[in-house]
């Protein structure tokens, strides 16, 4: 029945703004396997480029040319806009498209993979991203698109703020402990987050991601309370705790291409066995198609190429501490894959449609 439904379903028309970024390449690649979408417009500052020359993975698979930003054309031809990745530019573009689409009476929706709608407090943009956000009205409307936590709100959202890669991995790792009120937030050290990212997280062409600087290397950077993902993580932690805390965040740049591993160290309110903590996670995540719980430690290689978030943990009963580890593919679950997952929720498609292993996951969920 689902299948016949799917066939009849009209395809939604997609516009991608920022078609040149690594994540956009990944997004296009995934969307091509999606049954209910059509990629209609590829918008980029550089006009007229062949998309398969920008993203060599698309060669022989998909052709199309980038075009310049034209709000009316987008509204006329598209149902859903993905934006990626120039932070500080998209709030304005999205704002204009929202206003204009209202005027033109078109139900245009947005999944923004930049940071422009992630933070609710607009003053944080000045502090952490160095730009002034001009659409406070839209900030309050936008839904933070961590699918597993905000599924219901995402369904009806006009603007989904797709989470950052680090925040996705950290928040999925900590949510069961935070929501279950297990964390001792009065502990003087608070929550300590250690994270390693593949170099694709740093964008394509900069000195930091030269082979000289990444091969056979690991490099901590912005350690402490410095990285721009800190306020995003804190905002969502505070939402879950209903209380304000600060984290310590130690990100690292690694020599592998894809993947993020986070190791989150927290103090628990009281002694718990590993088994009990595990049951807490299982309860929260048992029906989630993209969360896999590990008895041991998750590792980068298993999550790369998928939309999974793999989670494992170690409990030190004597010290009341818990180390939660999570792994994602930074470009998929940390960007393009979660964006598609959000789209599926927004449009009532099967949540796994278009994502790696979708057919197997659909079957699994039926059984």
Per CB under 8 A, the list member of 223, 273, 276, 279 interacting with its own copies is 223
Q: Which residue lies nearer to its own copies by CB, 239 or 323? A: 323
Please pick, from the candidates 114, 267, 338, 341, the single residue that binds its own copies as defined by CB under 8 A. Answer: 267
300 sits near its own copies (criterion: CB under 8 A): yes
> Does residue 48 bind its own copies (CB under 8 A)?
no
Cβ closer to its own copies: 49 or 122?
49
78 catalytic per annotation: no
Contact assessment for residue 100 and residue 67, using Cβ atoms and an 8 Å cutoff:
no
- By CB under 8 A, residue 359 contacts its own copies: yes
Judged by CB under 8 A, which of 46, 61, 102, 104 binds its own copies? 61
Asked if 271 touches its own copies (CB under 8 A), the answer is no
In whole angstroms, what is the distance from residue 65 CA to residue 82 CA?
Answer: 17
Residues near 86 by beta carbon (within 8 Å), at least 6 away in sequence: 18, 114
Looking at the Cβ atoms of 138 and 169, the one nearer to its own copies is 169
Closest C-alpha to 227, from 200, 254, 197: 197
d(CA 165, CA 231): 13
Least distance from its own copies to the Cβ atom of residue 313, Å: 8
| 220 touches its own copies (CB under 8 A) | yes
Helix (H) or strand (E) holding 82: strand 80-83
217 binds its own copies (CB under 8 A): yes
The correct pick among 95, 239, 299, 347 for binding its own copies (CB under 8 A) is 299
65 binds its own copies (CB under 8 A): no
Pairing mode, strands 109-112 and 309-316: unpaired
Q: Least distance from C-beta 321 to its own copies, angstroms?
A: 6
Compute the C-alpha angle 343/126/132, nearest 5°.
70
Contact 108, 79 (CB under 8 A): yes
Which residue of 91, 166, 194, 281 would you call a contact of its own copies, by CB under 8 A?
194
Q: Count CA atoms closer than 13 A to 361's CA, side-chain side.
A: 18
> Among 207, 275, 287, 295, which residue sits at the site for its own copies (rule: CB under 8 A)?
207
Q: Which is nearer to its own copies, 141 or 365 (CB)?
A: 365
Of 196, 190, 329, give the one whose Cα is nearest residue 266: 190
User: Binding to its own copies by residue 40, rule CB under 8 A?
Assistant: no
Rounded to whole angstroms, the Cα distance separating 355 from 338 reads 9
Residue 269 binding its own copies, by CB under 8 A = no
Shortest spacing between CB 1 and its own copies, in angstroms: 8
**CB 283, min distance to its own copies, A:** 17
Question: Interface residues for its own copies in 312-331 (CB under 8 A)?
Answer: 312, 314-316, 318-321, 323, 325
Structure-token pair, residue 126: 């000045």
CB of 140 to its own copies, least distance (A): 29
Phi, psi (rounded to 5 degrees) for 112: -100, 115
Q: Which two tokens stand for residue 196?
A: 């390693």
User: Which SS3 state, helix, strand or coil, does residue 228 take?
Assistant: coil
Q: DSSP letters of 10-36?
A: PPEEEEEESTTSHHHHHHHHHHTT-TT
Asked if 241 interacts with its own copies (CB under 8 A), we say no
Binding status of residue 201 toward its own copies by CB under 8 A = no
Could you give the CA distance from residue 44 to residue 312 in angstroms, rounded to a whole number? 40
- Contact (CB, 8 A) for 260 and 198: yes
* Active-site pick, 165, 297, 309, 322: 165
Q: Quick check: 87 and 131 in contact, CB under 8 A?
A: yes
Q: Cβ of residue 147: shortest distance to its own copies, in angstroms?
A: 16
Indicate whether 57 belongs to the interface with its own copies (CB under 8 A): yes
Q: Out of 32, 46, 102, 104, which residue is the one contacting its own copies (CB under 8 A)?
A: 32
Both structure tokens of 261 = 């591993």
**Among 98-106, 108-116, 275-283, 298-306, which window interacts with its own copies (CB under 8 A)?**
298-306
Which residues are marked as active site?
Answer: 165
């Amino acid at each position: 029945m689902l299948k016949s439904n799917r066939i009849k379903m009209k395809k939604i028309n997609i516009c991608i703004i920022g078609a040149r970024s690594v994540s956009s390449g990944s997004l296009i690649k995934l969307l091509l396997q999606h049954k209910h979408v059509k990629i209609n417009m590829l918008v980029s500052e550089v006009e007229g480029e062949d998309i398969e020359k920008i993203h060599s993975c698309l060669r022989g698979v998909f052709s199309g040319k980038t075009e310049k930003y034209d709000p009316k054309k987008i509204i006329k031809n598209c149902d859903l806009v993905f934006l990626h990745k120039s932070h500080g530019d998209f709030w304005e573009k999205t704002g204009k498209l929202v206003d204009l689409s209202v005027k033109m009476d078109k139900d245009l929706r947005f999944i923004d993979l930049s940071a422009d709608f992630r933070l609710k407090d607009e003053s944080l943009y000045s502090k952490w991203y160095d730009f002034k956000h001009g659409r406070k009205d839209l900030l309050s409307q936008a839904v933070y698109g961590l699918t597993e936590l905000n599924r219901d709100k995402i369904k009806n959202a006009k603007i989904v703020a797709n989470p950052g890669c680090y925040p996705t991995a950290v928040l999925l790792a900590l949510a069961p402990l935070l929501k279950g009120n297990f964390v001792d937030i009065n502990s003087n050290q608070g929550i300590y987050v250690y994270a390693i990212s593949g170099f694709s997280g740093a964008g394509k062409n900069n000195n930091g991601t030269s082979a000289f600087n990444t091969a056979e290397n690991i490099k901590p950077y912005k350690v402490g309370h410095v990285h721009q993902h800190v306020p995003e993580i804190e905002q969502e932690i505070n939402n879950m705790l209903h209380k304000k805390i600060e984290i310590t965040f130690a990100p690292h740049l690694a020599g592998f291409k894809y993947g993020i591993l986070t190791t989150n160290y927290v103090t628990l309110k009281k002694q718990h066995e590993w088994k009990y903590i595990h049951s807490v996670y299982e309860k929260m995540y048992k029906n989630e198609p993209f969360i896999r719980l590990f008895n041991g430690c998750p590792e980068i290689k298993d999550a790369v190429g998928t939309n999974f978030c793999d989670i494992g943990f170690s409990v030190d009963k004597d010290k009341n501490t818990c180390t939660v580890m999570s792994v994602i593919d930074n470009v998929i679950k940390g960007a393009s894959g979660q964006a598609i997952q959000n789209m599926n929720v927004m449009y009532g498609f099967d949540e796994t449609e278009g994502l790696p292993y979708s057919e197997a996951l659909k079957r699994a969920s039926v059984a």
